[in-house]
Structure 1
Amino acid sequence: MPEDLENIIPAENWEDYDIEDKPKASTSTNIVSADFLNGMSGALKEMINKTSSDYVLDHGFTDGTYWVKMASGEMTMMREYGSLGQGGVTWVFPIPFIVPPYVGASTSSGSLSQLIVPNVINITGISAIIYFFSSFTARIATENVVSIAKGRWK
């Protein structure tokens, strides 16, 4: 191997590199760490702290609703309904959100010639009204409805 390449080939053992939070001058044994890795350990530590700081704090099943509370304050709820009549349903959240959450709903009802659209109204921190419209009629009864709410509990 030519001598000028020996100084830029990385060491075989990564432990030979001195990775620090602050960049330092390159040497023959740390050229990769100085040019690429130095300064990155701080970013990696920050990323690890952000990802590991959020975890499932509590979860359960209350009044037909599955829910998960995260340590960060986020909360997700999911509920399945066998069917909904034309009047829809008022979903009362078993644990209140501090602000109105995002609420969505879907159904397996419909056909290639009929579009069915969910409508979620009157969303508050404690409830939401869910019903469906058809491309042919105003409100429609639906089957296999699944709803989800995502927001903050703290």
Structure 2
Amino acid sequence: MSADHEQHRLFLPLVFVGGLIFGFGLGFSQMAQPEVVLSFLQFEDFGLLFVMFGAAVVTGITFFGVKQLRSTAPLTGAVYGRRLKTLDKNVVIGGGIFGVGWGLSGICPGAAYASLGIGNYAILWGIAGMFIGAYIQGFWRSTRADHGLPAATAD
């Protein structure tokens, strides 16, 4: 968000409520249970495919429909636009690392937090790993920048 746009006072409370609804949906659809996710990744249970398809349909309709109705975001005033990321080695390597982490833990980052809400406290190890990995990547990027070496650009 640029400095030109003032955040509406309800922006953060609505983000929080949206997160609660998202987390409830993950718990309700059982996506917050690593066993269910691993069954999906092992091609044994395709129920999560329907959950993800439903989410993709709602998201697609929303992204298309909102741009037809409004040119700016209602709570920030920022102009809607696409942010494209080129497919380079950093995207491929990062996606691979993300996928391995997802496969090892049986849960993606968003669902990991929702998993805490259903009592899966062992997932704290996975969440700690996510934070450590993000710290290492940030440290690596800043070290490369300090030495004048090319680092991946920020989104």
TM-score, reference length from structure 1 = 0.23
Which of 1 and 2 has higher RCO (CA within 8 Å, sep 6+)?
A: 2
Higher strand proportion (structure 1 or 2): 1
Higher helix proportion (structure 1 or 2): 2
Which structure has the greater CA radius of gyration? 1
TM-score, reference length from structure 2 = 0.23
